[in-house]
Amino acid sequence: MPSLLHLDSSANRSGESVSRQLTALFADTWRARHGSAGYRYRDLAADPVPPLGTAYCVLGRRLERHGLVPADQVATLVETPEEDREWALTRPLVAELLAADTLLIGAPMYNLSVPATLKAWLDRVTFPLADSLFRGTRVVVVTARGGTGSPDFHTPYLRAYFGKQGVAEQDLFLLGAELTIAELLPHLADLRPRAANSLAAARAEVAALLP
């Protein structure tokens, strides 16, 4: 059965969020084709992943020193209540990722990077395990950038991150819309046609990626 893990990270949980609009288009069409049984949704803004604690680092270093194990064996190496808590926060995220053959992420650009909510999720699932969490996974990242003149750091970062995690180049898709705040700001009024074209192109790309 096909399986989809859908993550949204935009702090704007209203209908105005372009990244949420685009991920919803993908997810709704996916469920229409495959049903809801294999679908899992996590809103990282509504239910933030806690930042890493010291015990997470200590447990991870222990595994790196003594040999990596599969996710289902990590609990046997936990030595303190703090480590148990960190693994309890991490284990469900790892399980969701292991179960997904497609990962869909909404990733708007905030201050030249990804939202802190998404970074916290990436940090936590990047735990040293013998399991290959991303290898063989199809990853679709939907970006959204608001204005003009800002360098694009977050798309190269995400491409580098997933590449390092073993996502094959042919399985990684980064697409998105530009100038998403042009409709709101009077001084960007002349860019609104470009913004509309960018959003339309992004919608078409999303539709083209659906299996």
Which tens digit of pLDDT belongs to each residue from 99-130? 999 999 999 988 888 999 999 999 999 999 99
Q: pLDDT-based confidence at 179, cuts 50/70/90?
A: confident
d(CA 202, CA 211): 16
Query: Does the annotation flag 9 for ligand binding?
Result: no
Q: Which two tokens stand for residue 126?
A: 């990047």
Is residue 117 within a helix (H) or strand (E), and if so which, with residue range? Answer: helix 116-125
Query: Does the annotation flag 150 for ligand binding?
Result: no
Query: Does the annotation flag 36 for ligand binding?
Result: no
Which tens digit of pLDDT belongs to each residue from 63-96? 999 889 999 999 999 999 999 999 999 999 999 9
Which amino acid would we find at residue 51?
A: P
The whole-number pLDDT of residue 7 equals 98
State the SS3 of 166-209.
CCCHHHEEEEEECCCCCCCCHHHHHHHHHHHHHHHHHHHHHHHH
Query: Cα dihedral sign for 119, 171, 42, 75?
Result: negative
Query: Does the annotation flag 12 for ligand binding?
Result: no
Query: Does the annotation flag 112 for ligand binding?
Result: yes
The whole-number pLDDT of residue 135 equals 84
Domains (ranges, CATH) in the chain? 4-50+100-209 (3.40.50.360)
Query: Does the annotation flag 22 for ligand binding?
Result: no
Query: Does the annotation flag 10 for ligand binding?
Result: yes
Query: Does the annotation flag 18 for ligand binding?
Result: yes
